[in-house]
Amino acid sequence: MRLLLHGLPASRGLALGRAHVREPQMREVREERIPTGAAEAEIERLHAAIETARGELMRMREQVQGALAHELGEFLDMHQLILDDPELVLSLDDLIRTALYSADYALKLQRDRLVAIFDAIDDPYMRSRREDVEHVIGRVWAALHRSPVSLTPGIAGEVLVCDTIAPAELSQLTERGVVAVITGAGSALSHSAILARSLHLPLLVGAHDAVAQINDGDALLVDGHSGEIIIEPDADDLRRFKRMQRETVRERRSLHKLRDAGSVSRDGVEIRLLANAESREDVAHAYALGAAGIGLYRTEFLFMQGTEVPTEEAQLLVYRDLVMGMRGRPVTLRTLDLGADKADRAGIALSDEPNPALGLRGVRLSLSLPGLFRSQLRAMLRASAYGKVNILVPMVGFREELERVRALIASCKTELQAEGQAVAAKVAVGVMIEVPAAALALGSVARKADFLSIGTNDLVQYLLAIDRSNDAVASHSSPLHPAVLRVLREVLNYGQRRGLPTSICGEMAGDPEHTRLLLALGLTEFSLHPNNLLEVRKIVRESDLGALRQKRGRLLRAVDRAGIEAALKAL
């Protein structure tokens, strides 16, 4: 019989599949005792499981890369700390040794006790850490049963219905072909939700009745947009689903055709879509999708991987491959942007600054380490012999900083030429516009640059004084603030007047929801993640720039987010 349930949409998308219900693991564990004298062996079994869980977490920590690395990494560290917690481990040992409970039952008791304590906390944020404790204990429990949490057999094509889901588990489930996930608990702000969105996996959370109402094998229609779950959908539902599915397929196909299409607006203006990249795969992907070049190559990843600082030669090989991989299309290499949230393992950046976002980061750090900086600049200049290279300098707030970088580049170039190394005659030097001082006093900093690249992530953070990784305030972090739009407009205007190529390389540039806004503000160069390139290109091709720009007055006059959103709708 058809039944409609509701959850909170946490990741969009539509899916139809067989329900796979996973009962909360711990709830079923019965009181179980072990014979006297078996305690030490049972404790050993438990500790082996804890070791396995620790190994899994460490492997995942090593595997997470890219944009999610920081967020997921912090979260995995927290799980590691819980796993190492002496309170957790010692009380488990005690329960087994003195009460002769089985390891399973001891885990269940410990979980119940901790959950009850967390549930009693007043602060909603701290209360929600309960999920972390549950995930860690669940991981140990699974290791005890030699069934890795996510390795449910035959889950391909199914909709997983469960109580909660850990982020690491989500990515494994996607690989195994799960089509959607519904959880009884959780929030749309959780790490899992963020990850599901980047995996394009529909996710509904907070569907309280789901585990109780849905049975294994039920046919489920999941709408990640509206939050609807239809159990045993009827003929009308299925027709609707098929129609929407066809639309999605058509959309994807038309996106596919866009690979070889230009990024020209309806009124004939060419928009340059460049790619942000940090790995060789990203570069290959960007080239195949027809990116006009690499607009931002983040070199810090080279420095974050190993425990040693990469040499000039090692850097040259990476930059050279990158330049050759783009076959003549321009590549913008950004000098080291370590510090703040990006620490390295070689010990270059300070780790105990009281206020890292305002500390020794970006070009400030590079200028404080001239030897290291020179070797990076030399490697970049040498790579310029293989194709068009631009050098981009992050976190510039003072004119002198850029002057010093330019002097260093000039001296490295002379040095290389004296050594008989090939260097391109012209290597453009640009600045990131992300420190508000540079964005406001354009005549001071930008005037000295060959091109500008607006880093909206940091610019928004500094303009609004909001750390978006801080859960307590993150919900207010949005580029849709009158101050942000005004600054963007000013910078774009300045670039246009002075003939300085100006791009945006923050996440905003890759968000299809913001494409028309940026076009209206006058942006003609986007640097975005390759995954978003086709979608943004599609919007560009459908847009009439002249018409959009005529309407930008209303956008710029809006006094708050609601006003900006209303003006956006009218674009």
Partner 1 sequence: MLERELSVINRLGLHARASAKLVQLLGGFKSNAFLIGRGREVNAKSIMGVMLLAAAQGSTVLLRVDGPDEEAAMEAAASLFARYFDEGD
Binding site residues, partner 1, CB under 8 A: 74, 77-78, 81-82, 84-88, 114, 117-118, 121-123, 125-126, 129, 133, 352-358, 467, 470, 472
- Considering the complex, state which of residue 136 and residue 144 has its C-beta at the smaller distance from partner 1: 136
Q: How far is the CB of 121 from partner 1 (least distance, A)?
A: 5
From CA 5, how far away is CA 42, in angstroms rounded? Answer: 43
Tokens of 460: 């928004």
Q: How far is the CB of 116 from partner 1 (least distance, A)?
A: 11
> No. of H helices and E strands in the chain?
25, 16
Name 27's Cβ contacts closer than 8 Å, sequence gap at least 6: none
Catalytic residue from among 481, 505, 514, 529? 505
Number of C-alpha atoms within 13 angstroms, CB side, residue 493? 12
Residue with tokens 């299925």: 238
Told to judge if 191 belongs to the known catalytic residues of this protein, a careful annotator would answer yes
- Which tokens hold the place of 46? 């438990």
Cβ distance to partner 1 smaller for residue 122 or 260: 122
Q: How far is the CB of 125 from partner 1 (least distance, A)?
A: 6
Q: What are the tokens at 262? A: 């230009």
Residue 133 or 258 with smaller CB distance to partner 1: 133
Closest CA to 501 of 274, 336, 324: 274
- For the record, the structure tokens of 550 come out as 């005529």
SS (H, E, C) 418-444: HCCCCCCCCCEEEEEECCHHHHHCCCC
Report, in Å, the least distance between residue 117 CB and partner 1: 6
Rounded CA gap, 171 and 150, in Å? 10
Q: Give the type of residue at 287.
A: Y
Closest to 69 in 3D by CA, of 353, 310, 300: 300
Q: What 8-state DSSP symbol labels residue 342?
A: B
Q: How far is the CB of 85 from partner 1 (least distance, A)?
A: 5
- Catalytic residue selected from 191, 481, 514, 529: 191
Q: Which residues pair with 159 in a beta bridge?
A: 19, 180
| Dist CA 282 CA 277 (whole Å) | 5
CA distance readout (Å), 378 to 76, 318, 382, 414, 535 = 37, 13, 6, 10, 37
**Which of 168/222 has CB closer to partner 1?**
168
The distance of closest approach from Cβ of residue 352 to partner 1 in the complex, given in angstroms and rounded to an integer, is 7
Mind telling me the catalytic residues?
Answer: 191, 505
